[in-house]
Every structure is written in structure tokens, then in C-alpha cells.
Amino acid sequence: MKIVVGMRQLADLVEELEVADSGVDIDRDFVKFVSNEWDEAALEEALLIKEQVGGEVVVVALDEPDVDQTLYSAIAKGADRAVKIVGVEEGWTPTRLRAQLLAKYLESEGDWDAFFTGVQAADDLDGQLAGLIGASLGVAHAAVVSKAEPEGPALRITQELGGGTLAESVAEGKVVLGVQAGRQAPRYAPITRIRQAMSSTTIESFEAPEVELGPGPKVRKLYPPESKGQATMLEGDPVEVAEKIVEIIRTKGLVR
């Protein structure tokens, strides 16, 4: 089975995010960019399938800050090839554009069986990637996937419907999946292996083709939510705060 995994970089949410002077994007000069965690789950699921039934895993990403590190880590974890889509304008890339570029790449790649990516990303304002790629390729797609297991040439897909209810379906033919969580947590890539990947692997380049971007939301302003500051902060050292918390639980009659 040949699985292409779409990965991307995203502003690290651990950081303070500042709004740029334009007022419609974050200040990208002062944030760290990390790999989207859901994409890592998608990669893990693809690698598990490769280990089960053989085949090939190709990772592909747009050229974004520190993306090489993400791609080499993927190689170190067991992906066979890495592709970077180059020539895209820097900044907040609409998901729709991302989808159209990846769709062009997938058309050029041709013989793939499945495309996996993360179920969502924290800035995908104009829609989630899997559905948009599925629509632009005219290929079946499913999101919030928690399991994808090979069943002969097909894939049995488990989706979470909320409240713990699971939906199972079988994909016969090409399919695009937005992965929520893999069957296991993403594996560790030892740095030695990442470094080996850096010296022995060449990241392939795919020149971004011209695409006509369809309609999207026009961002008028980006701003931090007004803090409602609802929580009453409990002051004091751990002993005092612990005392207050236990007291609160006690008044609710939940502990003697």
C-alpha cells in the first residue's frame, strides 16, 4: 500500500501569540514553528500499516519554517521519501490553497492508495484539509479517524462520532483521511537516526503550480478574546490552596 502523508508546520501554541501590525495574521517573526501534532498521529498510523502489509510511505509538506526537521524526523521514523512543495508565498496559507497544491502533487504522484493527514490544525479557518483535498480530487474522504486497518486491498476505517460512538466504514479505492489519533502514540525518532536521514536522504522538491484559489473567508481582524476572568484565583502556598480546595469540595457535600 502506498500512503502519502501530508504534514505541516504550525505556530507553537505554547508560545504567546501576538497579532501582527496588519491585524489579520499572527506575528510570524517571533513564534516557533512546530509540526502539527495531528499530522504526527497520521504519520504513525501510516507507518503501522506499512509495517503490517508493506508498501511505501511518502511525506509531503509545503515549504514552511523548520519543515525540514519535520520531514527528516519522518524519514527517521520510517517514511521512505520526503517531498517539499516549494515556491509558496510565506505567511498564513489558506487550507484551501494547501489542499489544491497537495492535490496537484498527488495527481503527479499518481499511483498512491491513500492520503493521510491530521484531522485539523489550529489555524485552518477555511476548513479542514482532508475534506478539501478529497473534494478537489473527487476522492472519498473521512475525518476524525481513530483507526485505519488494512483489509486485503481495502482499508477499514474507524471514525469517532462523539460521545464514544464509533462508525466503521470500508474504503475500496483511493481515500483521503483526516486522522485524529493513531492506534498508538507517535514513536520517538532518535536524533542519530534523524541525522543519518539528513545526510543520506534528499528531500525532493515539487514546484508549486499555479492554482486558482476559490472563495474563502476574508479575515477582517484577529484579536485575543476578552478575558472574562471568571475564575477567582486562589492565593497562597500549596498548603493554603489545598485547604481551600478541600473546603470547597466539602461544602458541596462531596467529602466528609
Partner 1 sequence: MSNEVLVINERVQGEIPDLTFELIGKGRELAQALGGSVSVAMIGDLSSLDAFGGADKVYTVEHPVFGSGYSAQAWEEAVAEVVAVARPKVVLFGTGTIGIDLAGSIAYREKAPLASYVVDLKVEGSDVVAVSQLYGGKLLAESLLEGETVVATVIAGSFPSEAGRSGGSPEVVSVAAPKSLDSLTLRPVAVKEPEKSGVDITAADLLVSVGRGVGSQANIEMLQELADALKVPLSASRPVIDQGWLPKPHQVGKSGKKVKPKVYLAFGISGAPEHLEGMRSSELIIACNTDPKAPIFEVAHYGTTLDLFDLVPEILEKLEA
Partner 2 sequence: MPVGGKKQSPVVVELEEATVISKVSGREWDVSGAWNRMFQPRVLSDYSYSGGLGKVAQLDGGETLEYCYGCGKCVPVCPVDLVSEYGPRKIHRKVQTGLDLFASDELWMCTTCGNCLRVCPKGVNMIQIMPAVREVAVGDGKVPDELQGIFEKTFRYGNALGENPRRRHAWTKAAGVPVRVLGSDPTPVDVLFYVEDYWSYHPRGQQAAQAFARTMARVGVDFAILGAEEKTVGDSQRLAGEKGLFDALVEDVTSTLAKYEFNRIVTPDPHAFNALVKEYPKRGFTYDVLHYTQLLSPLIDRMNFVNPINKKVTFHDPCYLGRHNGEYDAPRKLLKAIPGLDLVEMGRCKENSYCCGGGGGGMWLDGFNSNHVSERLSERRVREAAGTGAEILAVCCPYEVSRFEDAAKSTGNEHLKVMDIAELLDEALGGSEGL
Residue 163 CA to chain centroid, in angstroms? 22
Question: Cell numbers of 78, please?
Answer: 520510517
Return d(Cα 95, Cα 176) in angstroms, integer. 15
Binding window for partner 2 (CB under 8 A); candidates: 138-146, 150-158, 164-172, 184-192: 184-192
**In this structure, which amino acid lies at residue 249?**
I
Interface of this chain with partner 2, residues 52 to 71, rule: CB under 8 A:
66, 69
Q: Are 180 and 119 in contact (CB under 8 A)?
A: yes
Q: Does residue 168 belong to the site contacting partner 1 (CB under 8 A)?
A: yes
Interface of this chain with partner 1, residues 24 to 63, rule: CB under 8 A:
26, 41
Q: The cell 504526527 sits on which residue? A: 40
Return d(Cα 49, Cα 51) in angstroms, integer. 5
**Cβ neighbour number for residue 63 with a 10 Å cutoff:** 17
Question: Cell numbers of 138, please?
Answer: 473527487
Q: Which residue, 151 or 243, has its beta carbon nearer to partner 2?
A: 243
Q: Does residue 184 belong to the site contacting partner 1 (CB under 8 A)?
A: yes
Q: The cell 499555479 sits on which residue? A: 210
Binding window for partner 1 (CB under 8 A); candidates: 47-55, 83-91, 121-129, 196-204: 121-129
Q: Which residue, 199 or 228, has its beta carbon nearer to partner 1?
A: 228
Q: Does residue 135 belong to the site contacting partner 2 (CB under 8 A)?
A: no
Q: Does residue 187 belong to the site contacting partner 2 (CB under 8 A)?
A: yes
Q: Does residue 213 belong to the site contacting partner 1 (CB under 8 A)?
A: no
Which of 18, 23, 24, 32 is the binder for partner 2 (CB under 8 A)? 32
Q: Phi and psi at residue 252, in whole multiples of 5°?
A: -80, 0
Which of 107, 204, 207, 243 is the binder for partner 1 (CB under 8 A)? 243
Binding window for partner 1 (CB under 8 A); candidates: 58-66, 83-91, 203-211, 232-240: 232-240
Residue closest to 119 by CA, chosen among 219, 28, 42, 12: 42
Q: Are 112 and 78 in contact (CB under 8 A)?
A: no
Q: Does residue 232 belong to the site contacting partner 1 (CB under 8 A)?
A: yes
Q: Which residue, 58 or 157, has its beta carbon nearer to partner 1?
A: 157
Cα 232–Cα 235–Cα 240 angle in degrees, nearest 5 = 120
Binding window for partner 1 (CB under 8 A); candidates: 51-59, 108-116, 126-134, 195-203: 126-134
Decide which of partner 2, partner 1, none touches 30; Cβ closer than 5 to 8 Å per partner kind. partner 2
**Cβ neighbour number for residue 49 with a 10 Å cutoff:** 22
**In this structure, which amino acid lies at residue 214?**
G
Note the maximum CA span of the chain: 69
Q: Does residue 166 belong to the site contacting partner 1 (CB under 8 A)?
A: yes
Residues that bind partner 2 (CB under 8 A): 14-15, 30, 32, 34, 66, 69, 187-188, 190-195, 238
